[in-house]
Amino acid sequence: MTVRTRIAPSPTGFPHVGTAYIALFNLCFAKQHGGEFILRIEDTDQLRSTPESEKMILDSLRWLGLNWSEGPDIGGPHAPYRQSERMQIYKQYALDLVEKGHAFYCFATPEDLDQMRAEQQARGETPRYDGRGLELSNEEVQRRLAAGEAHVIRMKVPQEGICKFNDLLRGEVEIPWAQVDMQILLKTDGLPTYHLANVVDDHLMEITHVIRGEEWIPSAPKHQLLYQYFGWEMPVLCHMPLLRNPDKSKLSKRKNPTSINYYRDIGVFPEALLNYLGRMGWSMPDEREQFTLDDMIEHFDIQRVSLGGPIFDVEKLNWLNGQWIKGLTPAQLLDRLLTWKSDRKTLEDIAAAIQPRIQLLSEAVNWAGFYFNQFPKLEKEQFASKKLSEEQVRQSLQFAIWRLESIMSWNNDSVSQTLMQLAEQMDIKLRDFMPSFFIAIAGSTSSTPVMQSMVTIGPDLCFARLRHALEIVGGPSKKELKVWEKLNESLKLPKNDANDEA
């Protein structure tokens, strides 16, 4: 048997270090066993998936050196490797399950399901699908299908007993079937859910070992059941511990930058980031801290993974990156420096921004320095405004982060329109609104045009700086957060509707 593992990211945002972490362990396991590591794009979420996000994911994994032998960019014997190009495959398998009696049609509307959950909560029960679709006769199902009534296909799930499955790190895991919902397999728009597409693709692509985050443990019973229904052998499951913030909470961009591109932009070596991710819950047999990808593959043993939540500590990563820097010759370091900021388009944008402001080339350093820094040095007093209250400053930064995060294409028009619209909706003049952003991004109001600067430094570094500034001035408390989220949404409404909301 040839060992085959995969990484299957969804192209719905910026490439996450958690994706690299899981990809690293999949690659090491496969290569240690002389097997293959493949990449599949799970883009069934048509509203949020974008080609730009897919490209960023592929580019960032390649930058790290996590190379795959089959994938959407290079093809392979199991193509296509994008789920959006495999829709007819999933539909046929869903219909097969219905025909075999393992799945059923459900015509419940969203309103029906909302009422069902409300009634369950009123009785003190955990909300879950009540199986109402199973009560329909075949004649009624056929009549409603013929009438074109909206429907989904759900899988049948036992209501009693215990599901048992084996995990490579945990041994036998038990989950009561009463905790497992009758999962939707095919949605009303004909698109598959993650669970159906994942199982079908893993089987057809001959995946032998599924190494994924522990957040998928509750889904394992559904997947095991689907394998049984199809009559297929289930891959070996291995659920990795989740990366965590220093406070032990799940790693999130609100407490730590999570984009791979951010760490590339601030000058972390790809070898150092892989080295650090390799130490997340795993260690070399000789306990050394610094090692290469080849070292990790050579000595890899999945049983050395610790189930304690590994802490993603940026300071520790910076220290480790420093060790890699110290191991270079000056000539090698110069090559790294020149490669780090070698994108000519970015350098031309910086040159264009500082050109009207300098008389000597030596002055370029003062004007351009913030483009290359991680964070500008900030003090809370810098954000004091004669025109805005402290709360307005805090809200403007937080609202901007939320809105900029939803931008699909990061360019001067999208960034400037987002900020100008927010200022208008907050009823703040742009000249009073923008100083906080100059300070957050450049560290001073004496800077090149800040909206263009945000585009030039890119979204990852921009978000990190805005969150850093928000931390300096004081981000929202848990209580404020809910109020602010509602306020931010109400600001987007027409004035009359917004007043009604208030």
Residues 37 and 210 sit within 8 Å (Cβ to Cβ): no
Give CA separation, 146 vs 93, 110, 137, 143, 189, in Å: 21, 21, 14, 5, 16
- 272 CB-near residues (< 8 Å, 6+ apart): 317, 320, 321, 323, 324
> Is residue 320 a contact partner of residue 326, using CB atoms and an 8 Å limit?
no
Cβ atoms of 316 and 276 within 8 Å: the answer is yes
- What the block records as the tokens of 321 is 């990156």
How is residue 213 written in tokens? 């985050």
Q: Does the annotation count 253 as an active-site position? A: yes
Q: Cβ(353)–Cβ(452) under 8 Å?
A: yes
CA distance from start to end of the chain: 63
Contact 444, 453 (CB under 8 A): no
What is the CA 345 to chain-centroid distance, rounded?
A: 27
Cα separation values, 85 from 9, 41, 42, 96, 230, Å = 15, 10, 10, 20, 22
Closest CA to 240 of 269, 263, 209: 209
Cα 290 to chain centroid, rounded: 27
Bridge partners, residue 176, by sequence = 162
User: Residue 400: which of 385, 429, 421 has the closest Cα?
Assistant: 421
From 31, 55, 100, 253, active-site residue: 253
**485 φ, ψ (degrees, to nearest 5):** -60, -45
> Do residues 4 and 30 make contact, with C-beta atoms less than 8 angstroms apart?
yes
Q: Is 253 annotated as a binding residue?
A: yes
3 state SS for 454-485:
HHHHCHHHHHHHHHHHHHHHCCCCHHHHHHHH
Alpha carbon distance 159, 265 (integer Å): 51
Omega before residue 356 within 30° of 0, cis: no
C-beta of residue 84 within 8 angstroms of C-beta of residue 440: no
Q: How far apart (Å, rounded) are the C-alpha atoms in residues 383 and 374?
A: 19
CB burial readout 421-441, b (16+ within 10 A) else e: ebbebbebeeeebbbbbbbbb
Helices (H), 327-388: 330-340, 344-354, 364-368
Give the residue numbers of the binding site: 253
Give the residue numbers of the binding site for ATP: 253
Query: Catalytic residue positions?
Result: 253
